[in-house]
Amino acid sequence: MLETGDPAPEIDAPNQHGETVAPDFDAPTVVYFYVEDGTPGCSTQADQFSREAGAYADAGVTVYGVSTDDVDSHREFAEREGIDYDLLADPDGDLCAAFGVPRDHDGRAERTTFVLADGEIQRVYTGVSADGHARDVLMDMLDDGLVSL
């Protein structure tokens, strides 16, 4: 798994609209890996990142959710949950591999979050609890001086 100080990987993947997205990790960015579209914990996590979207935008932070679900699953999940940030589809596990995120026996990503800026990994969260995580990440970015409101 990538660690604090490691260079950010160069990635691209389709979002829930089928558009290829290539994040700019020079700018403050959160990439959170979640298990599966529509599960209770993943819905909680996605909803809370959506609720914090204004604060993240005010701080100049882009948020991406990633799971091994496909574009169609992401589209349905985003519509059902009202998610307005990009969910990146990783059905082959390429993004998991780029970040070194472990996958379970069914190939689903373990809940892991990366904070990136200046082209490198700034923070890594493993064993993430979905509830409250979105707010905690933003507060840590503020405390670390990566962003300001």
Q: How many domains does the chain have?
A: 1
In a domain, 149, yes or no: no
In a domain, 120, yes or no: yes
Boundaries of domain holding 28: 13-143
In a domain, 17, yes or no: yes
Extract the tokens encoding 92.
């082959």
In a domain, 3, yes or no: no
Average pLDDT over residues 103-112: 96
Question: Is pLDDT of 149 > 90?
Answer: no
The answer to whether residue 96 is catalytic is: no
Catalytic residue, candidates 42, 95, 138, 146: 42
In a domain, 8, yes or no: no
CA distances from 67 to 56, 108, 141 (A): 21, 7, 23
Q: Residue for token digits 């160069």?
A: 10
**Per-residue pLDDT tens digits for 48-78:** 999 999 999 999 999 999 999 999 999 999 9
CATH number at residue 99: 3.40.30.10
Q: How confident is the model at residue 124 (pLDDT cuts 50, 70, 90)?
A: very high
In a domain, 2, yes or no: no
**Per-residue pLDDT tens digits for 2-56:** 999 999 999 999 999 999 999 999 999 999 999 999 999 999 999 999 999 999 9
The whole-model pTM stands at: 0.97
